[in-house]
Structure 1
Amino acid sequence: MTDPLMGSISDHTRSKWGRRVAWFFFGILPVALSYVLMWVVPPFERWLQVVYYFFAYAFFSCAFTMVMVPYGALPQDLTADANERTVLVSFRMAFSVLGGLLSAVVPDLMIKRAADLKTGYFIMGLSFAVLFAVIWLVMFLSLRNKVKAETPATTASLKESVKYCVGNKTFLLLCAIYLLSFIPNDIMSSNFKYFINDVLFMGDKFALTMGALMICAVLSLPLYVLACRKMGKRKTFIYGSIFRIAALLLLFLLGPDSTVFRLVAIAVVIGLGTGVAYAIPWSMLPDVTDLDEAYTGFRQEGIYAGMMTFIRKLSSGVAIFLVGLLLQISGYTAGAAEQTSLAKSAIVGILTVVPILFVLLGIFAALRYPIDRGNSQLIREVVDQRRDGSFAGLDEETRQSSLAGLKDIIDVKRKGRAHAE
């Protein structure tokens, strides 16, 4: 729950570096220190070690929230151009995926080269802590003069901001789109190894296959950015999700007799479909915060980014729980030379049918999502009028007409949609 709180704090922050960038500086030491502490083995009794690691991990989670929530709200402060925001989000997600690949390979290599496990984990933790500190320092130094210090902060309280978020049906739809597109990613990452090991019997090809999938997901991001410029974000998400479903269905073509080439080729296609989850939902968030600002007059991008970050953590927990529960029900036995036919069928179903159902629900949510090219122009006009002070000077009828149109979008009413895509 620290995510929405940090979002509200960043919304209320006033500094010469702007509302978000200041936190990159404040978070350098806490992030680095908290990460190192998680890899220290304290000379305590066992139960005290458990307490120590609980608080060490909680410290890191809070420190990481201190920088990541403002980071998630940063595109809105950097540019008002929708296409530029999409590009920024795509770059962010590309490095996120590459960082995931890095964290999957490098720590193991560092630990194995150490004299013992305790030393290896500490060296790994210290090395990554230094890397984190350098990254956030570079972020701060690069952006401290890029964001206007006079950016107005919201005057809404945390309670009011949360109320606006929960009452904004367009934002709730975006949360659904985000949740339903990322749960399949988590299911894939947590279940794919079982599929490779216990169904295809190609355990030694797991790194190659997942590497190909994730790299192709990164390479697909420019294609989705281009598609957004041509047809808008909502349509791009819908068509990309349909392609993703088709790609997941290709998994049914794999079996124990499949070649490595077929396995990797299908992973490449799935990666291209997976890219839509990285490219679109976060790029939709600035449109929703613009809508909120146009209607309420408050700038509270931070609270929205905090809620999105919280949703992401929730989706990861749901996915891991779901995979574990279904495997347990199917009778999966860890370490068995060969699984039962029911367990194998469950593994295939978890990797195909379950993600497809989530993606389908995501498509239905996107079909209801009301912001398109037609009404986004109204949103942008009112935001600009709010910021230059001209909105209050409009005649009452014009003002009320604009607010009524914005309320229709917030409430996801069909009459509020321009269908101009």
Structure 2
Amino acid sequence: MPWMLGCTPFIALAYFFLWFLPPFTSLRGLWYTTFYCLFQAMATFFQVPYTALTMLLTPSPTERDSATAYRMTMEMVGTLMGATVHGFIVSGAHRSNHCVDTELPVPAAISPDATRLYSIAAAVVVVTYHVCSGLLCLGVKEQPDPSASASGQGLGFLAGLGLTARHPPYLKLVVSFLFISTAVQVEQSYLVLFCTHASRLHDHVQNLVLIILVSAVLSTPLWEWVLQRFGKRTPAFGIFMMVPFAILLAAMPTAPVAYVVAFVSGVSTAVSLLLPWSILPDVVDDFQLQHRHGPGLETIFYASYVFFTKLSSAGALGISTLSLQFAGYKAGACKQTEEVVVTLKVLIGAVPTCMILAGLCILMVGPTPKVPSQDTSFQLSLRRRTSYSLA
């Protein structure tokens, strides 16, 4: 909890300055790079203990899965609300800007009114950060059980990292969702460019993004029910739903197809976000039952997985950026070359398809974590809570 509360002011500060226009022009690139890196670093410091709290809320695997589903649903609802509020506030700063030729547009001066609107939108998000962190602090308590005794001092970080990196179920989880997460982010990150330059769907971009978010929010409870009813391998096939529709969009970029693909993409995105965080607690319990090196290693599992989610984001950005650069993409140009159009179709269709298939193959084969019994989970939970009280 101290980590999360301590990071909140820095996250809010970095986010505000990401939308603040500095008075100088020569070092604006350095300004935004610095605050973007600070924002990502502080967000990571917040995310690791926040996600690891799942292990301390309840000893029941079923209840942990439900808590994870609630968390993922509320995160997507927050994303939807944030995008809506932010877009509503800054909507007055945008004018219709249709291309009239193929030349690069002339840079326009930024009006003081637009700067003010973006600062107001950032301030609203900053206030929300502090309110939500306060609610988290007041509503979630780490209460150790006084009747339980610590089972050991625990390992150091490097020793624990070496052990977790050699745990087969964890390796399978990380590698499989490294491919899957990269595929999802490649498709979603370049949907706007695809609609703008590879099809005539630029007027539908906002609606498509909204459909993706809404379908992801609404389908998360359904996937949680499927997860509890049929096990944790069955929902993985929901990720595969994205494959044929992504290929269909690349082959037939029409408005009806795009809306169907957006809906299916949101449904697949929901399960791709929910499933790994539901499997991870079982992996941690499986590791503790096999090794019994003392409590506290769940934080290493969660920190490592957060690292790999960040790595998947970087991988998606690197693959896409380099591909477009080699194809001759020109930022801001009204019309791109045919090579860029083909590259965008490959990024939307072929790349996610190959990565999703590779990730699902890895996920479906190999060792799986054994879900502990209720009594075993309860004993592990007591060890964790006591270790945190001693720390």
TM tier, smaller: 0.7 to 0.9
SS at match of 1:376: coil
Higher helix content, 1 or 2: 1
> 1:400 aligns to what?
none
CA distance in 2, matches of 1:45, 1:262: 43
Q: 1:129-157, CA deviations, whole angstroms, 9 ceiling, x for partnerless residues? A: 1110000100111112x643668596211
1:23–1:340 distance in 2 versus 1, CA, 3 Å = closer
Superposed, which structure 2 residues align to 1:24-63 within 5 Å? 24-40=4-20, 46-47=26-27, 55-63=34-42
Superposed, which structure 2 residues align to 1:204-283 within 5 Å? 204-237=203-236, 239-252=237-250, 254-255=252-253, 258=254, 260-283=255-278
Q: 1:366-420, CA deviations, whole angstroms, 9 ceiling, x for partnerless residues? A: 1224226xx3247x6655566779xxxxxxxxxxxxxxxxxxxxxxxxxxxxxxx
> 1:134 aligns to what?
131
Contact 1:28–1:137 at 8 Å: present in 2 too? no
Contact 1:39–1:122 at 8 Å: present in 2 too? yes
CA distance in 1, matches of 2:25, 2:329: 35
Contact 2:182–2:312 at 8 Å: present in 1 too? yes
Contact 2:179–2:358 at 8 Å: present in 1 too? yes
Q: 1:107 aligns with which of 83, 86, 91?
A: 86
Structure 1 residue 308 displacement after superposition: 1.1
> AA paired with 1:249?
I
TM-score, normalising length from structure 2? 0.81
CA distance in 2, matches of 1:46, 1:335: 20
Tell me, yes or no, if structure 1 residue 315 matches structure 2 residue 327: no
Structure 1 residue 39 displacement after superposition: 4.5
SS at match of 1:339: coil
> 2:144 aligns to what?
148
- Runs (5+) with no aligned partner, structure 1: 1-20, 390-421
Structure 1 residue 59 displacement after superposition: 4.0
SS at match of 1:332: coil
Q: 1:309-335, CA deviations, whole angstroms, 9 ceiling, x for partnerless residues? A: 111111111101111111222333444
Contact 2:58–2:381 at 8 Å: present in 1 too? no
TM-score, normalising length from structure 1? 0.76
Contact 2:286–2:372 at 8 Å: present in 1 too? no
> AA paired with 1:209?
L
Q: 1:65 aligns with which of 36, 40, 44?
A: 44
Structure 1 residue 37 displacement after superposition: 4.5
- Runs (5+) with no aligned partner, structure 2: 94-111, 384-391
CA distance in 1, matches of 2:375, 2:366: 20
Structure 1 residue 63 displacement after superposition: 3.1
Tell me, yes or no, if structure 1 residue 191 matches structure 2 residue 190: yes
Superposed, which structure 2 residues align to 1:398-417 within 5 Å? none
> AA paired with 2:338?
S
Q: Identity of counterpart residues, as a percentage? A: 25
Aligned residues: 360
Superposed, which structure 2 residues align to 1:114-125 within 5 Å? 115-125=112-122
Q: Give the alignment's Cα RMSD to 1 decimal.
A: 2.9
Contact 2:190–2:344 at 8 Å: present in 1 too? yes
